[in-house]
Amino acid sequence: MKTRTLGSDHLEVSAIGLGCMGMSYGYGPAKDEQEMTRVLQGAVEEGVTFFDTAEAYGPFANEELVGKALAPYRDRVVIATKFGFTFEEGKGKIDGVDSRPRHIREVCEASLRRLGVEAIDLFYQHRVDPRVPIEEVAGTVGDLIREGKVKHFGLSEAGTETIRRAHREQSVTALQSEYSLWTRKHEAEIIPTIEELGIGLVAYSPLGRGFLTGKVTDDMVFEEGDIRRTLPRFRQEAMQANQALVDVVKRFAEAREATPAQIALAWVLAQKPWIVPIPGTTKLERVKENNGAAEIELTAAELKDIEEASAQVRIVGERYPEQMEQATGL
């Protein structure tokens, strides 16, 4: 597996990481722990060194799963986790944001225990907390870095001004935000800003929550607990319209004797050398398939053709319901 570097403090990770959320949360019931352990450990053997989790995934169960599964490989992997949410007691549901310094420290200590590590490799603010100045957040994580409990600071779904203010207080290694062929809003301001500041981009949902693989059909019924049941782009009429983008990806995949997922990931990788996609999956064969994208180098002509063809497709549906979109802080 090729590697890439995030941030000016040079965090080296595999060119394609693994998003672990769906193993415990967000896409129906939590999956079998033993099977997910095999997937996580198999991913390491396939060259993946970058794993993404969060206290919110479960809540808490995903950190425990990742920590236990990757314990034998601790010197070979980078584990990113996140802080910044509060949860309804006993219900396991997010009920708000909280990035007060004391809460950040509490989450850090709890994540260290669940992951079974002495230091968190990359600690993201999961969502911006409008009640807490970002300088306080960055300063608190900076203190944790100096104390040896955290190695790198990250933000997730933050806007340009927030990124700049945080970076002035404490060097930001990476911004994690949604980025793919069907979610490109960050190209206008976010990507130029982080390029200027020397911050890496960790692209979540680079396969459009599975849609760009071509395996999600407009008649598919998502099970209880699958976030796609609530997302505007996964309404039947939206999926029917957005199929045009999948058709574009499929056309290029056929030409390169690749899968649609590989082309969609190769496109993300081709945008900047400091972008690292973290597709999520619960199947080792999909990890292997996704990893194959790192070996596909799209030519300038292919990228131009993809750009022109995809520009003809108008994406129908917002990526989140309005309330959730507002909560991203953008």
What is the set of active-site residues? 57
pLDDT of residue 327: 56
Token readout for 65 is 């799963």
Superfamily of 3-210+260-296 according to CATH = NADP-dependent oxidoreductase domain (3.20.20.100)
Domain definitions of the chain by residue range: 3-210+260-296
Tens digits of per-residue pLDDT, 217-270? 999 999 999 999 999 999 999 999 999 999 999 999 999 999 999 999 999 999
Element (DSSP H or E) covering residue 309: helix 300-311
CB-based contacts of 278, cutoff 8 Å, min separation 6? 16, 17, 18, 19, 50, 52, 176, 202, 203, 204, 206
Measuring CA to CA, how many Å separate 144 from each of 9, 79, 102, 163?
16, 16, 12, 19
Mean pLDDT, the chain, rounded, equals 96
Binning pLDDT at 50, 70 and 90, where does residue 97 land?
A: very high
What confidence tier does 329 reach under pLDDT thresholds 50, 70, 90? very low
SS3 of 194-229: the string is HHHHCCEEEEECCCCCCHHHCCCCCCCCCCCCEHHH
| Segment 113-164, tens digit of pLDDT | 999 999 999 999 999 999 999 999 999 999 999 999 999 999 999 999 999 9
Residue 330 has pLDDT above 90, yes or no: no
Q: What is the pLDDT of residue 91?
A: 67
pTM of the predicted model, to two decimals?
Answer: 0.97
How much is the pLDDT for 324?
A: 73
